[in-house]
Amino acid sequence: MNERGTLCLTQYDLRVAATRRGRGAVICETDKGLKLLKECTAGENRIMFEDKVLSGLELRGNLYVDKYVRSIDQKLVTEDSDGTRYVLKDWFDGKECDVKNPSEIILGVKELAVLHKALRGINMADICPADFCMPISLRREYEKHNTELRRARMFIRNTKNKSQFELMVLQSFDSSYRQAEEALCLLRCMDSMPEPMLCHGDYTHHHILVGARYVAVTDFSRMHLGVQIWDLYHFMRKIMEKHDWDLGLGKSMLEAYQRILPITEQEYEYLYVLFLYPEKYWKQINYYFNANKAWIPGRNVEKLQKLEIQAKERQKFLDWMREHTGFAGKTGS
């Protein structure tokens, strides 16, 4: 953001005491609390959609979200003298959720359950443009990913003078692809999918601020109509990877969520399928196949090695989850 961006603050009904840079934006100390000024690249309809949802959440009284602040002219988006667009949002005095701290992890899970429960109370008929309400078909996504995995393996098989990364891919492919196919088969066997509802869309520790007396959720730029349990999976998978798939922590996160918002049998099966699919493995293969194959960063080799090291503990978690689904005793064939 250029320094002139702060001139937009004159368009708002507040007094600014100090500003500082943070999170690619400007954090402002004002007479009406902390605010965040940031450049805006989203379209007007998208901003209006987020504003309506976030305003609805605020009315529920038990959630802290980075709601938009309107200008004196009641605009959601303001422009600087050079035509650059900005938005101003409520902000919070807190730090990112510490992924090494189990207590803060559980706080993040609880807040997600509270958020999901509140989002279910939003009247979507009046606020959701069709562009943001198209549920993504997980089945089609997995079919595409599996095709990409097979294509990459064929390419590597025909490659001479294989690199360490390529040799590792071939060595681990069968077990990972077997899980990918089983996840797809189980998905096809499900009688129906969970009902589409509003989701955060990118619920990670980066978007959870832990304050002295509250937990705030930020960045709803990927909010959409989808399967809410995917938010939980997205948060949990990243945490579980950082904790080497600690079964006790996984159980605690699921229990914390369910104490606030019970998970239906259908949602639990969907969640199991999400965890079963080797998403991290696919990401590494897909990155390799679409990048410069002549040079593979060392960190990609390390990520594959870590997946292999964590495989046993990850399987223990999957086995425990499967026992609590309708898939127990079934195969994915």
DSSP tag of 61:
S
pLDDT for the residue 207: 97
Task: Tell me which fold the domain 3-43+62-91 belongs to.
Answer: Phosphorylase Kinase; domain 1 (3.30.200)
Q: Which amino acid is at 187?
A: L
- Residue 147: C-alpha distances to residues 151, 154, 214, 225 (Å): 6, 11, 45, 26
Domain boundaries, the chain: 3-43+62-91, 102-323
102-323 in CATH: which number? 3.90.1200.10
pLDDT in tens, 68-110: 999 999 999 999 888 899 999 999 999 999 999 999 999 999 9
Chain centroid to CA 197:
15
pLDDT in tens, 289-307: 888 666 777 888 999 999 9
Q: Is the whole model's pTM more than 0.85, yes or no?
A: yes
